[in-house]
Structure 1
Amino acid sequence: MFLAWNEIRRNKLRFFLITGVLMLVAYLVFFLSGLATGLQTLNREAVDSWKADAIVLTDEADKSLLQSIMPADKESKLKADAVAPIGQLNAIANNDGEKQNISLFAIDPTSFIMPDIIEGKSFKNKYEVVASETLKSEDFTIGDKVKLSGSDDELTIVGFITSARFNAAPVLYTNFDTFYSIKYGEASETNNTKLNGFVVQSDDVDNITKDSTLEAIPIESFIEKLPGYSEQNMTLNFMIYFLLVISAVIVAIFLYVLTVQKINIFGVMKAQGISSAYLARSVVAQTFILAFVGVAIGLGLALLTGEFLPNAVPVTFDLPILLTYGAIFVVVAILGSLFSVRTIVKIDPLKAIGG
């Protein structure tokens, strides 16, 4: 460590440049991680708020809530600790000219999936809804009259809940009478026993239902089947993994060049009795210092950037995930330095000093 630190102090500019490159790569890794987490949140925020273990859909719906249609009396076929019926449709909300994609959920306000009201009150009457607080940034307020595409009914926002989005769309919650009227219009009276599924709490997901027309899906499996969710996460994660590999290559190249430049010095040191193991530890320690400083600065810059980004940018920094990536980054950088260690071990003192 003494040799590593001494060399860094004597060659500040050279090692500052190496640290700068590592910092930029680390910054990009952390920012992509925040973007991946943020985009995940956009898709699953509402589902996470249910605190459910599974969702029951029709077997032919392919794990899609929107494609699942079943009669309400299917609840009698379920065995669980708690069951909450749910209906869902996607629409465009028009609030006095302000248009916004939304996801409308119909629920029983006494069920366990009813969200906490943070402003205003809960829906009680027909055509009343509570909205995700994310709609405030789109100028939606309590008392606003909202029309949904495909319906002439006018909804009144009576309250706001904590941020809730489903497939990136802000959520509105209402009762089933409102849902049937909006979805079926004049035919609502003949379709008022249909819903999309049941959200359940149960320790035994495999035995929730024996009905062959129904499928109990663990909540994580349901989320992973949301349109674009898995593909999006896989793409961003691959980008992060490639950046980690690139960082190892960068470290390997920089340190190898530095090692080649110092072959004569290393040869003299080995001729004086300094072991290859000591020199190797010095290179590894040097790499650790550079990578640690680069990661620390990159993390600080990423968190600072997050404070100044507009709400429209879906970036959410999860500190445990960032620290995990930071640790992996340092380990990968050290692995990259082993190429230089191999070169040091192979140095012949006599040849290195011209003997």
Structure 2
Amino acid sequence: MNIAWKEIKKNKVRFLILGSIVFLVSLLTFIISGLANGLSQDNAALIKDLPDGEFYMTEDSDQTYNLSRITKSTEDELLKKNQDAVAFSIQMGFLDDSGGKQRSVAFVTSTDSKLFTNVEKGEIVLDSSMEDEGIKTGDTLTNNQHSGKFIVKGFVEQKKFSHSPVAYINMEDYQEMNHVEEMQLAFIPGKDALQEFKGLQSFSKKDFLNTIPSYNAEQMSLNMIVWFLVVISGMLFAIFFYMMNVQKIGLYGILKAIGMKTRELFKMMWTQMIFITVIALILSITLSQVFNVMVPKGMPFNLTFETTVQLSLVFLIIGFIGATLSGLQIKKVEPLQAIQQGEV
């Protein structure tokens, strides 16, 4: 520990450069992770906020919820067997306010259930983001596929689908707008909710989210960037310590000659790695949390404590692996040969 600290002070510029790079890479990783989480909520909060359970759509829908149509008999059977089950439908559309401004929404209707907001015919409940845009309780909204008007009865927090605010409407209004009688999807809450129904295919919440094209493509791209940055940080540690070890072959030979064991040399290297990584992570976590607080309200950014801890542990593990791989040459150092080579 003492030797490790002395070397850091002696070569502080080198370690400062490595620490700065790790800080920048980790900060960028935290920000992209927060953006991925934020976009995930903005894209599918309606589904993600549901409890664990099983989603059902028709087998011939090709795993596309828009093409799914659950027959009334199958719906009745499913709801009869499961008291907490719900059948629901989602359809993208538009609402016009009294000023003629058109707003994109995701219309949602469902059978009677505490998992979804149920409204009376002619009423509508909107995501709170619509309230931020100037819509108020009691306002009248229209849709060109609906003969009547919708009266805004209230707002709900964080209900989005496909980056659009959710609009809960009555089942009769939904059927009139879309000229359909059947529901698209069914959901049975509970960890042991998996059941078989003729003509229906089941999905866990994770699997169902991946059937949404925009969600799957978006999250896959952002997660690839995150893990690519993590791999880069591991390579940085490996390259840095490899170069340091090459320059210190003579020193390692001397230390081995006076009785220092190989594991002590590894401990010295690990101590330096942990010191650099921890300081870099503290700084990047602090700045990313400040960014999380100060980010504009409309920006989809959500860096959770759980994500921060997970990524920090990943950085420490990757740093440990990178430093260890670069230090394998230490085991091969022969004291006499190293001393004869001289210390660079």
What band does the TM-score fall into relative to the shorter chain? 0.7 to 0.9
**Distance in structure 2 (CA, Å) of the matches to 1:199 and 1:311:** 31
**Distance in structure 1 (CA, Å) of the matches to 2:46 and 2:161:** 6
Paired letter, 2:133? E
Going from structure 1 to structure 2, the CA distance change for 1:38 and 1:340 (only over 3 Å counts) comes to same
Q: Secondary structure at the match of 1:194?
A: coil
Q: 2:177 aligns with which of 178, 182, 189?
A: 182
Paired letter, 1:74? T
1:130 aligned to 2:132? no
Paired letter, 1:198? A
Q: Residue 45 of structure 1 contacts residue 163 of structure 1 at CA under 8 Å; is this kept in 2?
A: yes
Which residue in 2 is equivalent to 1:200?
188
Which residue in 1 is equivalent to 2:43?
43
User: Which structure 1 residue ranges, 5 or more long, are not aligned?
Assistant: 116-121, 185-190
Q: CA deviation at 1:341?
A: 1.8
Q: Secondary structure at the match of 2:327?
A: helix
1:140 aligned to 2:135? yes
Which residue in 2 is equivalent to 1:188?
none
Q: Secondary structure at the match of 1:105?
A: strand
Q: 2:110 aligns with which of 100, 107, 112?
A: 107
Q: Deviations over 1:150-194 (max 9, x none)?
A: 44543221101121012222101111122123223xxxxxx5x43
Which residue in 2 is equivalent to 1:161?
156
Could you state the TM-score of these two structures normalised by the residue count of structure 1? 0.85
Paired letter, 2:63? K
Q: 1:240 aligns with which of 203, 226, 237?
A: 226
Q: CA deviation at 1:245?
A: 1.5
**Distance in structure 2 (CA, Å) of the matches to 1:32 and 1:149:** 39
Write out the 4+ residue segments of structure 1 that deviate beyond 6 Å after TM superposition.
none
Going from structure 1 to structure 2, the CA distance change for 1:322 and 1:354 (only over 3 Å counts) comes to same
**Distance in structure 2 (CA, Å) of the matches to 1:329 and 1:208:** 43
**Distance in structure 2 (CA, Å) of the matches to 1:287 and 1:68:** 54
Corresponding pairs, count: 338
Going from structure 1 to structure 2, the CA distance change for 1:52 and 1:155 (only over 3 Å counts) comes to farther
Q: Relative to structure 2, which stretch is displaced further, 232-241 or 263-272?
A: 263-272
Paired letter, 2:233? S
Could you state the TM-score of these two structures normalised by the residue count of structure 2? 0.88
Q: Residue 102 of structure 1 contacts residue 171 of structure 1 at CA under 8 Å; is this kept in 2?
A: yes
Aligned ranges 1:296-315 → 2 under 5 Å? 296-315=282-301
**Distance in structure 2 (CA, Å) of the matches to 1:75 and 1:64:** 18
Which residue in 1 is equivalent to 2:86?
84
Q: Deviations over 1:80-133 (max 9, x none)?
A: 23232323311022333543321101124x422234xxxxxx733x22100111
Q: Secondary structure at the match of 2:40?
A: helix
Aligned ranges 1:1-355 → 2 under 5 Å? 1-51=1-51, 53-78=53-78, 79-95=81-97, 96-108=99-111, 110-115=112-117, 123-124=119-120, 126-148=121-143, 150-151=145-146, 153-184=148-179, 193-201=181-189, 204-209=192-197, 211=198, 213-354=199-340
**Distance in structure 2 (CA, Å) of the matches to 1:344 and 1:194:** 69
Q: Residue 38 of structure 1 contacts residue 315 of structure 1 at CA under 8 Å; is this kept in 2?
A: yes
**Distance in structure 2 (CA, Å) of the matches to 1:70 and 1:348:** 74
Paired letter, 1:82? D
Q: CA deviation at 1:35?
A: 1.9
Q: Secondary structure at the match of 2:85?
A: strand
Q: Relative to structure 2, which stretch is displaced further, 99-108 or 166-175?
A: 99-108
Indicate the percent of aligned positions where both proteins have the same amino acid: 24
User: Which structure 2 residue ranges, 5 or more long, are not aligned?
Assistant: none
Q: Secondary structure at the match of 1:148?
A: coil
